[in-house]
């Protein structure tokens, strides 16, 4: 595999490190993550806005010389995990460590001993930035206690799929079910369409990204794989009747998730508890092949 292709499959980590620290970070991360090294805060900000970044790694040595800029960066992108690296003690190191802690950096790794480098790799791999989604899925598991396994798979996929999964067709492919079958199951259970669930879930995820004050609407649209900021704005307007700016001001991640629950879970809970959207009846594969190309299997309202 070409090196640039391999990098696309690894977790991207942006760094502000000394030259010596970069060598060690690259060595311990081979095969685990792709470190993208920068020389200044402006370059890091550009990277955070233009790509999905797994975590940030800051040298205490570098931070000691640029305390205000780095602490401001961490605050603006507070939902992206940040790790501080301590490789030596300089005069400003204690001050830098204190400033990073106050800005929101919760993990400091001391690599002055060999075991510290192993701890650093574990810290970078563990800090996935998905704690908000774990909270969401935990609450959803309580709300939907007792649902069939395949029903839970559908709701779980709404919040764990890659951002590029933006249509029912793409979601169905991931869940290994025909789109027409998925839509039919929801229709027969008198539930909102799967498209509605997916649209609202994507806005929960967008609200999570908006919690990083450094992201613009255009940055969110890029991270969520919308074709343009205008496309994202139309999605918000169609789904919630708000502009993108109004959406940002009104909802954080958990607030939008509560809206998801109030609109799409609580009013339909009894129907959801018996929903089997993915389980295929006997002979489904053969019938699907015969029906291939013949259109949707959605029932007519009279059936």
* Tens digit of each residue's pLDDT (9 = 90 or more) over 27-38: 988 888 899 999
Whether residues 163 and 279 share a domain: the answer is yes
DSSP letters of 236-285? Answer: HHHHHS--HHHHHHH--HHHHHHHHHHHHTGGGHHHHTT--SSPPPTTHH
Question: Do residues 281 and 253 share a domain?
Answer: yes
Does residue 107 form part of some domain?
Answer: yes
Residues forming beta bridges with residue 56, ordered by sequence position? 14, 82
Asked whether 81 and 130 are in contact (CB, 8 A), the reply is: no
Domain residue limits at 51: 3-126
Secondary structure of residue 216 in the 3-state scheme: coil
Which residue, 126, 155, 182, sits at the end of a domain?
Answer: 126
Mean pLDDT of the region 95-106: 76
Total number of domains in the chain = 2
Long-range contacts formed by 19-23: CB under 8 A, 24+ apart = 20/87, 21/59, 21/61, 21/85, 21/87
- Is residue 302 domain-resident? no
Least confident of 68-77, 121-130, 183-192, 236-245: 121-130
| pLDDT tens-place string over residues 161-178 | 877 889 999 999 999 999
Q: Which tens digit of pLDDT belongs to each residue from 191-232? A: 999 999 999 999 999 999 999 999 999 999 998 889 999 999
- State whether 136 and 118 are in the same domain: no
Single residue among 111, 126, 141 that ends a domain in this structure = 126
What pLDDT score does 5 carry?
47
Closest CA to 16 of 39, 48, 45: 39
| CATH at residue 117 | 3.40.50.2300
Contact in structure between 205 and 224 (CB atoms under 8 Å): yes
Tokens at residue 122, please? Answer: 């574990």
* Mean pLDDT value of segment 28-56: 90
pTM of the model: 0.68
Contact 150, 157 (CB under 8 A): no
What are φ and ψ of residue 176, in 5° steps?
Answer: 60, 50
Last residue of a domain, one of 79, 109, 126: 126
Task: Examine the domain organization and report whether 18 and 74 are in the same domain.
Answer: yes
Beta bridge partners of 41: none
Q: What is the CATH number of the domain that holds 287?
A: 1.10.10.60
Domain match, 194 and 85 both: no
């Amino acid at each position: 595999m070409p090196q640039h292709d391999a990098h696309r499959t690894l977790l991207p980590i942006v760094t502000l490190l000394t030259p010596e620290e970069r060598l060690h970070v690259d060595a311990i991360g081979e095969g685990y993550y792709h470190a993208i090294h920068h020389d200044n805060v402006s370059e890091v900000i550009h990277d955070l806005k233009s790509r999905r970044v797994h975590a940030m790694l800051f040298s205490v040595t570098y931070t000691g010389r640029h305390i205000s800029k780095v602490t401001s960066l961490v605050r603006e992108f507070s939902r992206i995990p940040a790790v501080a690296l301590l490789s030596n003690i300089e005069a400003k190191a204690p001050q830098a460590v204190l400033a990073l802690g106050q800005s929101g950096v919760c993990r400091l790794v001391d690599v002055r001993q060999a075991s510290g480098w192993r701890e650093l790799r574990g810290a970078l791999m563990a800090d996935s930035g998905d704690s908000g989604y774990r909270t969401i899925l935990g609450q959803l598991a309580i709300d939907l206690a007792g649902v069939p396994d395949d029903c839970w798979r559908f709701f779980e996929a709404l919040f764990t799929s890659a951002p590029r999964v933006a249509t029912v067709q793409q979601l169905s492919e991931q869940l290994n079910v025909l789109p027409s079958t998925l839509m039919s199951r929801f229709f027969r259970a008198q539930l909102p369409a799967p498209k509605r669930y997916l649209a609202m879930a994507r806005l929960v995820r967008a609200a999570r990204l908006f919690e990083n004050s450094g992201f613009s609407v255009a940055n969110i649209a890029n991270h969520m794989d919308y074709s343009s900021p205008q496309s994202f704005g139309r999605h918000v307007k169609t789904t919630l009747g708000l502009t993108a700016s109004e959406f940002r001001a009104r909802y954080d991640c958990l607030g939008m998730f509560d809206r998801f629950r109030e609109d799409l879970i609580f009013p339909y809970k009894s129907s959801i508890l018996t929903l089997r959207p993915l389980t295929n009846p006997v002979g489904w594969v053969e019938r699907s092949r015969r029906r291939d190309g013949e259109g949707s299997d959605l029932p007519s309202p009279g059936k």
